[in-house]
Amino acid sequence: MTKFLFLGASFNAMPPKSWRYLISMATASVALTLFSNPSSRAADSKYPEKPIRFIVPVSPGGGSDLLARTIGIKLGEILGQSVIVDNRPGASGNIGAEIVAKSSPDGYTIVIETIVLVTAPLMYKSLPYDPIKDFAPITLVARVPHVLVVNPKVQVLSLMDLITLAKSRPGALNYSSAGKGSPVHLAAELFKSRALLNIVHVPYAGGGPANAAVIGGQVDLTFGNISAVLPHIRAGRLRALGISSSKRSTAAPDIPSIAEAGVPDYDFSSWFGVLAPAGTPRHIVNRLNIEITQILKLPEIKNRLATDGTELVTDSPEEFSNYLKAEANRWARVIKDAGINAD
């Protein structure tokens, strides 16, 4: 005799009315759940079904590019789809940011951003996107400290020596940066405001030329990215006076933090985070958050990046969203007081 299966039990193909009632109620319950909860239906979709574009709003070779490629390779392996790194430099990162802000919110376009995302609106009169409203934060991925370095010919051996010299000769010392509004520029202006110093800004077209100017003696000091300046410090071409983060870096434990060396409330690190266009389905944001978090916990990833002073960090989409708002508030005063205007 034909059997009918239900909840692991079996009975004749012509069940009694009570069983038919239970079956109809169960079917109705499942249907109600599926059709009344769109996120459940979305969560069942087969994402991703095509390659994902990973926008890097700067040229190849920098910190953003390295992180995007490191994450992208592993993410592609996990998701079973290619993750294509697409460098879109220009306008201090605004071109790449605009591309993502105006992309379809379907999970197939993501971007790696830096502090510039939240500071740009404070320096430009108008932007074609809103850094808070037009993006869906996925996760913070890394922080990288900078190192306050001087040319060895500058007659200072410590951070306090530098502060004393700068105060005795207002406007006589200068510092190089990777351009107006760059992380190096912000790090230096924060230092000036905390230590009450008058040091002249000399912008260059990128971190490489800014570091070279200090090595060559054309400029007195800079706040170089730790991975870029460590080789020059070890070779004696630059003298390190302090790490910009609140604590020492494991990549250079012999260099004191600036806070430790004499400016107690100083703390600065370049940060990197991954975002998608606003309106990207929550289950996709959560999926990407989980996968990227797991990638950054892989020993080979952590060990490789730690040697360059990169601190890998992750958080939830909500935590990253709050962090972006806090960063925007933090830098509003510094940028206003320093009169930084990128237009």
Please give the DSSP secondary-structure letter assigned to residue 257.
B
- H or E element, residue 54: strand 52-56
As a CATH number, domain 145-261 is 3.40.190.10
Please give the pLDDT value at position 297.
94
Please give the pLDDT value at position 4.
33
User: Do 159 and 262 contact (CB within 8 A), yes or no?
Assistant: yes
Mode of pairing for the β-strands spanning 83-87 and 239-243: unpaired
Instruction: Please state the φ and ψ torsions of residue 115, each to the nearest 5 degrees.
Output: -55, -25
Cα gap 227→309, rounded to integer Å:
6
Q: Where in the chain is the domain with CATH 3.40.190.150?
A: 52-143+270-338
The number of beta carbons lying within 10 Å of the beta carbon of residue 155 is 9
N-term to C-term CA, the chain: 83
Cα gap 97→147, rounded to integer Å:
27
Q: Where in the chain is the domain with CATH 3.40.190.10?
A: 145-261
pLDDT tens, position by position, for the chain (343 residues)?
433 333 333 334 444 444 343 334 334 443 433 344 444 344 446 899 999 999 999 888 788 899 999 999 999 999 999 999 999 988 878 899 999 999 999 999 999 999 999 998 888 888 899 999 999 999 999 999 999 999 999 999 999 999 999 999 999 999 999 888 889 999 999 999 999 999 999 998 888 899 999 999 999 999 999 989 999 999 999 999 999 999 999 999 999 999 999 999 999 999 999 999 999 999 999 999 999 999 999 999 988 888 888 999 999 999 999 999 999 999 998 899 888 887 6
User: Pick from 36, 67, 229, 87: which is nearest to 151 by CA?
Assistant: 229
CA angle, residues 306, 277, 138, in degrees to nearest 5: 35
CATH class of 52-143+270-338: alpha beta
Cα gap 275→322, rounded to integer Å:
13
Please give the pLDDT value at position 58.
86
Please give the pLDDT value at position 34.
39
Please give the DSSP secondary-structure letter assigned to residue 179.
S
Please give the pLDDT value at position 304.
85
Cα gap 149→220, rounded to integer Å:
9
User: Do 251 and 304 contact (CB within 8 A), yes or no?
Assistant: no
